[in-house]
Amino acid sequence: MTSPSSQFQRIAVIAKADATARLHPTLQTLKGVLDRRGLHLVPDPQTAALLDLGQGIPIGELAKVSDLAIVFGGDGTLLNAAREFADTGVPLLGVNLGRLGFLTDISSNCLDDCLGAVLDGKYVEDRRFLLSASVDGQPTELAFNDVVVHKWNIARMIEFETWIDGRFVYTQRSDGLIVSTPTGSTAYALSGGGPLLAPGLDAIALVPICPHTLSNRPIVVHAGADIEINVCGNTDPKDVRITCDGAATLTLGAGEKLCVRRHVNAVHLLHPVGHDHFNVLRAKLGWGEMPRNS
């Protein structure tokens, strides 16, 4: 938590791509808070349209003209913003309009008080790493949650080798492999039976998707590891795709390999004072709930 300061003067506002007029009152509340403090609101195109503020600025340009970004939406909206802002150092503050909200942890109902506290310097800082995924000859893609190797347009398993720091780990036949950050351990990796990793852990989880051999279990490696995945056996690389955060997609050619490693820069998140990751898990995953009487 920092001491009160005026470090946030230009506030980028990012709304989810399918934002509707129902978001308008919440954005008006935000604008009122910023106006009373003499701070400048820098809208993305969705926010600009809802508040009648002109064209707005594309998300890829917002970080150049802001020193704080407030993201309205679910975790998917924040994931996209995190990839765009990762190399800028501009912090992100998430307002939950989605269903789960592991990352966007401010309720729109208490926006006025929570945002005021953050602008007064009362917040908890949280830095989390991303993954970079690269295939020979293709642009590197970033992932805040996970890099997923998966089958494509076929109804059978794919076969691939996994290497860590140049050491052979295994040959696996499965529907694919999830390479997850601690942030992503509550996403697809959780559905695949992977472990929940505390956000501050310097670790990466490798979670098989429906493996042929049941002894192929999730493993956790150091976040500094270099992970390489090669398609092998009778699998045609054309039947394999690599997806980053469920968005960007890479393809494999014959003899090409996927390389996954920790990205050099971290995402800078802000949370309200009192933020507790385990409280979030209890609330979102229903831990400790008593069964209802029939």
Q: Measure the CA–CA gap between 42 and 95, rounded to whole angstroms.
A: 16
Residues 118 and 162 in one domain: no
- Model confidence, pTM: 0.92
Give the pLDDT of residue 284.
Answer: 83
Give the pLDDT of residue 6.
Answer: 62
Residues 205 and 141 in one domain: yes
Number of domains the chain contains:
2
Give the pLDDT of residue 108.
Answer: 82
Q: How far from each other are the two terminal CA atoms of the chain, in whole angstroms?
A: 46
Question: How far, CA to CA in Å, does 92 sit from each of 63, 80, 97, 98?
Answer: 10, 11, 15, 17
Buried b (16+ CB within 10 A) or exposed e, 177-201: bbbbbbbbbbbbbbebebbebebee
Asked if residue 1 is part of any domain, the answer here is no
Are 187 and 180 a contacting pair, CB within 8 Å?
yes
Residues 172 and 276 in one domain: no
Residues 23 and 66 in one domain: yes
Asked if residue 109 is part of any domain, the answer here is yes
Residues 137 and 219 in one domain: yes
Write out the residue range of the structural domain in which residue 257 sits: 130-264
Q: Measure the CA–CA gap between 65 and 272, rounded to whole angstroms.
A: 24
Asked if residue 2 is part of any domain, the answer here is no
Residues 99 and 188 in one domain: no
Give the pLDDT of residue 1.
Answer: 42
Residues 168 and 242 in one domain: yes
- φ/ψ bin of 250: left (φ > 0), alpha (ψ from -120 to 50), beta (otherwise): beta
Give the pLDDT of residue 290.
Answer: 64
Asked if residue 293 is part of any domain, the answer here is no
Residues 144 and 204 in one domain: yes
Asked if residue 294 is part of any domain, the answer here is no
Query: DSSP letter at 35?
Result: H
Indicate which CATH number applies to the domain containing 24. 3.40.50.10330
Backbone angles phi, psi at 162, to 5 degrees: -120, 130
Tokens of 209: 């998707």
Give the pLDDT of residue 2.
Answer: 40
Strands of 176-180's sheet in order across? 219-222, 203-209, 176-180, 146-151, 240-244, 248-251
**Sequence-ordered alpha helix ranges (H) in 129-212:** 188-191
Give the pLDDT of residue 165.
Answer: 98
Which residues of the chain have a pLDDT value below 50?
1-5
Residue 126 annotated as catalytic = no
Indicate which CATH number applies to the domain containing 242. 2.60.200.30
Are 257 and 230 a contacting pair, CB within 8 Å?
yes
Q: Measure the CA–CA gap between 14 and 93, rounded to whole angstroms.
A: 10
Residues 78 and 134 in one domain: no
Catalytic position from the list 18, 52, 67, 75: 75
Asked if residue 194 is part of any domain, the answer here is yes
Residues 116 and 137 in one domain: no
Residues 153 and 75 in one domain: no
